[in-house]
Amino acid sequence: MIVTVGSISLDTTRTPFHTAEEVLGGSGSYFTLASSFFTPTSLIGVIGTDFPPSHMKTLEQRMDTRGLEVKEGRTFRFDSSFGYDLGVRTANKTELNVFGDWTPKVPEEYRAADYLYLGNVGPQQQLHVLDQMDGPRLTVADTIEFWIENQRNALAEVISRVDGMLLNDQEVRQLADTTNIIKGARAIMDLGADFVIVKKGEHGAVLLTKHMIFPTCGYPLESIEDPTGAGDAFAGGFMGHIARRGRQDDQTRKEAVIYGNVMGSFVVQKFSVDQLLTLTEAQIEARYRKYKEMVTF
Amino acid sequence: MIVTVGSISLDTTRTPFHTAEEVLGGSGSYFTLASSFFTPTSLIGVIGTDFPPSHMKTLEQRMDTRGLEVKEGRTFRFDSSFGYDLGVRTANKTELNVFGDWTPKVPEEYRAADYLYLGNVGPQQQLHVLDQMDGPRLTVADTIEFWIENQRNALAEVISRVDGMLLNDQEVRQLADTTNIIKGARAIMDLGADFVIVKKGEHGAVLLTKHMIFPTCGYPLESIEDPTGAGDAFAGGFMGHIARRGRQDDQTRKEAVIYGNVMGSFVVQKFSVDQLLTLTEAQIEARYRKYKEMVTF
C-alpha cells in the first residue's frame, strides 16, 4: 500500500482553447489517480463541506478515502491560466480555504504502510505525517518554490529524513542555488536524500543516485490540452511501479522513472484528471513498451 | 568524404566567468572539426586577408582546405554574451565583412562527394552549392531564424531538395508556425525532407522520419563553459558517423544522433573550438558507450 498526503482542489484552468471550471485537481488527486493503477493507494487530504459529490465518487472508486477529512467550509480552489504554448502557468487566484491551516492526521490503519509519498503540502505538514508513520521502506517527497523560499530549514529536515526528492528543474536550481541541475541534485543528496529525480516537463526527467545518473526524455506528444498535474502523475507512476514490484534496485527505479514519464504524458492529453479516469492498465503498458522501443538503439 | 559549406569567424564570446577574444568560430569550423574525427571533411568557406595564421594552421591540420577562399578584407566577426545560466545568447556585434556578399564555389574535386552538409549560410548560397554538386547520397541542411524570417521561399526550396533538415526547437516552431515540435517536424517533412532532427540544446535531440520518432536526451554535464558551436558539432558527429558507416538505415541514423549529442557535449566543456583540438577518438567512443549504458533500462 502507498500512503500519500497532498492537496485536493477545485481547479479553474484556462487555456487559449478551453476553460474548465471547478474541476477536480490538487497534487493528491493526480498522484493517487495515477498510482492506483499500479498499487492500492490511500490519500490523506482535506476537503470542504462544499466538495461536489460527483468528485467524491470519483475518488472513492479509485482509492481508500478514510484519510480524507471533511472540514466545515470551502474546498481549496485554484484558478490559473496558460498562454498559447502551454508552457507558463499564471496563477489568477489561490483560495486555500480548509486546506490553509489543516493538520494532516494519519489514520491508525495507514501507519504501517511501506510506501509514503509526501506530496505538495508544507514541509511542517510533511514532517508531521512522517512522525506518525511506523517507518516506511521508501519515503519520497515533493516541494514547490513557495516552501523553498519560505521554509528552507523545515524543508532541509524533510530532505534529511526521506529517501528521495522529486523536484522540477527550477526547484532544484532554487534549492541548491546553482544553474546546473546535476550539481544541484548532488547538493540535495548531500542534505541527506539517497536519490533525486529532476522533472523537466516535456523534456523528461533525470534520476540521480550517489553512483548513477539516468537521464530520460519525455514521451513525445503531438498535442497537449492541459499541463496541470503532469508532475504529480509522474510521481504516481514512479511510486506505483516501485510499490508493485516491492524492490528498489537500480533497474526497478529506472523502470519507475519511465512509468513516471508515461503517466505524465497521459495526463496532459486531456483537461483535469479526465485522462486518468478512462485510462486502462493495458494502455499504460502499451505506452511503456512503445517508449522503450522508441528510445532503444 | 563530406563536403560542407559554412561560416568561419573570429568570435568574441563573453560569459560572466570568462571572455575569449577573436577565437576561431563559425558553423563551418565547428562542424568540420567535429566531423573530421569520423570522416575526412572538406570545408567550403571564406576568410579575410587578416585571418590569423595560427587559426589557418588549426584548420589545415584537420581538413581539406582547398575550398577555403581568401578574400581581400576582414574576416567575419561575431561578438556575443551569455548570462549566468549560459542559456541565452545576446549578439553584441555582427560584422559580416568578406562573408557578406560571398558566393560559394565548389572545387571540381569536391563535386562527386557522397555527403553534403549545408551549414548556416543563406538558402540562396545553399542552393548554389547544391547546384554545383553531382548528386550526393545524403544532403542535410541547417538554417537560422534570420533566413526563416527573410528568405522563406528559398528556404522552402532547400527543404524540398535535401534529405534531412537539422534545426533547433525554436527554428522548427518558427518555420512550421506551431508550438509543438513533433507537429512542426512533420510539417517540415511535408515540404520535402525525408527526416528532421530537432536539436533541443541540453535537452538532447529528436530524430523524426515518416515512420519513426527517436527522442534522445542530452549527455548530462556538470559544467558548461561556452555553449557556442554545440549544434554545429552535433551536426558534425551526425554526418561524420553516417559517412564513416556508409549506411543510412534507421539504426545508423539513431547511432548518428547519439554521436551528435556526444560531440555537442564535448564542445561546450571548453571555450571556442578548444575541446575539439585536444579530443581523441578514444574519448568520443568512451563517451558514446557511457551514454548508451546510462540511458539503457
pLDDT one-digit tens code per residue, B208-253: 999 999 999 999 999 999 999 999 999 999 999 999 999 999 999 9
d(CA B130, CA B117): 10
pLDDT of residue A45: 98
Residues 172-191 of chain B whose Cβ lies under 8 A from any Cβ of chain A: 179-180, 182-183
- Compute the average pLDDT of residues B89-95: 94
Interface test with B, best of A182, A198, A203 (most B CBs within 10 A): A203
Q: Which of A119, A127, A122, A184 is nearest to A161 (CA)?
A: A127
Are A222 and B258 within 8 A, CB to CB? no
- Compute the average pLDDT of residues A217-234: 96
For the stretch A8-31, pLDDT in tens is 999 999 999 899 999 999 999 999
d(CA B79, CA A196): 38
Average model confidence (pLDDT) for chain B? 96
For residue B189 the three cell numbers come to: 517533412
Are A295 and B215 within 8 A, CB to CB? yes
d(CA B236, CA B279): 14
Question: By CB neighbour count within 10 A (0-12 exposed, 13-18 middle, 19+ buried), where does A72 fall?
Answer: exposed
**H or E, element range at A128:** helix A123-132
Pairing verdict, β B19-25 and B9-14: antiparallel
Please name the member of B180, B213, B224 whose beta carbon is closest to the beta carbon of A223. B180
For the stretch A113-135, pLDDT in tens is 999 999 989 999 999 999 999 99
Q: Do B58 and B24 touch, CB atoms closer than 8 A?
A: yes
Mapping DSSP to helix (H, G, I), strand (E, B) and coil, where does residue B224 land? coil
Q: Do A255 and A48 touch, CB atoms closer than 8 A?
A: no
pLDDT of residue A44: 98
pLDDT of residue B170: 94
Count Cβ–Cβ pairs < 8 Å, chain A vs chain B.
80
For residue A136 the three cell numbers come to: 516506511
- Compute the average pLDDT of residues A36-43: 98
Tell whether the model's pLDDT for residue A246 goes beyond 90: yes
Q: Do B181 and B212 touch, CB atoms closer than 8 A?
A: no
B contacts of A197 (beta carbons < 8 Å): none
d(CA B236, CA B221): 20
- Give the dihedral of Cα atoms B144, B150, B154, B155; nearest 10 deg: 30
Q: What are residue A25's DSSP bridge partners?
A: A9
Q: Do B224 and B269 touch, CB atoms closer than 8 A?
A: yes
**H or E, element range at A208:** strand A205-209
pLDDT of residue B84: 83
Residue B135 neighbours by CB under 8 Å, 6+ apart: none
Looking at per-residue pLDDT, the higher value among B59 and A120 belongs to B59
Range with lowest mean pLDDT among A78-87, A199-208, B3-12: A78-87
d(CA A296, CA B7): 35
Residue A202 neighbours by CB under 8 Å, 6+ apart: A218, A221, A224
Q: Do B258 and B291 touch, CB atoms closer than 8 A?
A: yes
Residue B152 neighbours by CB under 8 Å, 6+ apart: none
Q: Do A51 and A119 touch, CB atoms closer than 8 A?
A: no
pLDDT of residue A84: 83
Please name the member of A182, A203, A206 whose beta carbon is closest to the beta carbon of B222. A182
Residues 254-273 of chain A whose Cβ lies under 8 A from any Cβ of chain B: 254-255, 258
d(CA B166, CA B205): 10
pLDDT of residue A133: 98
pLDDT of residue B240: 98
Interface test with A, best of B17, B168, B183, B217 (most A CBs within 10 A): B217
Q: What angle do CA B65, B67, B71 make, to 5 degrees?
A: 100
- Compute the average pLDDT of residues B120-140: 97
Provide the phi-psi class of B181: left if phi over 0, else alpha when psi is between -120 and 50, else beta.
alpha
pLDDT of residue B85: 79
Provide the phi-psi class of B192: left if phi over 0, else alpha when psi is between -120 and 50, else beta.
left
d(CA A253, CA A251): 5
d(CA A118, CA A130): 8
Long-range contacts of B185-191 (CB under 8 A, 24+ apart): B188/B159, B191/B156, B191/B159, B191/B160
pLDDT of residue A200: 95
Are B297 and A251 within 8 A, CB to CB? yes
Residues 273-292 of chain B whose Cβ lies under 8 A from any Cβ of chain A: 292
In the sheet that holds B164-168, the strands lie side by side as B68-71, B41-48, B2-5, B115-118, B138-142, B164-168, B195-199, B205-209, B212-216
| pTM listed for this prediction | 0.95
pLDDT of residue A85: 79
Q: Do B149 and B173 touch, CB atoms closer than 8 A?
A: no
- Compute the average pLDDT of residues A234-243: 98
Q: Tell me, what DSSP letter sits at residue B17?
A: S
- Compute the average pLDDT of residues A183-212: 97
B contacts of A295 (beta carbons < 8 Å): 214-216, 295
Matching residue, cell 558517423? B241
What percent of chain B has pLDDT above 90?
96
d(CA B225, CA B15): 8
Q: Do B182 and B207 touch, CB atoms closer than 8 A?
A: no
pLDDT of residue A272: 95
Smallest CA–CA distance from A294 into chain B, residue: B214
Q: Do A5 and A104 touch, CB atoms closer than 8 A?
A: yes
pLDDT of residue B64: 93
For the stretch A66-99, pLDDT in tens is 999 999 999 999 999 998 878 789 999 999 999 9
For the stretch B262-296, pLDDT in tens is 999 999 999 999 999 999 999 999 999 999 999 99
Q: What are residue B205's DSSP bridge partners?
A: B199, B216
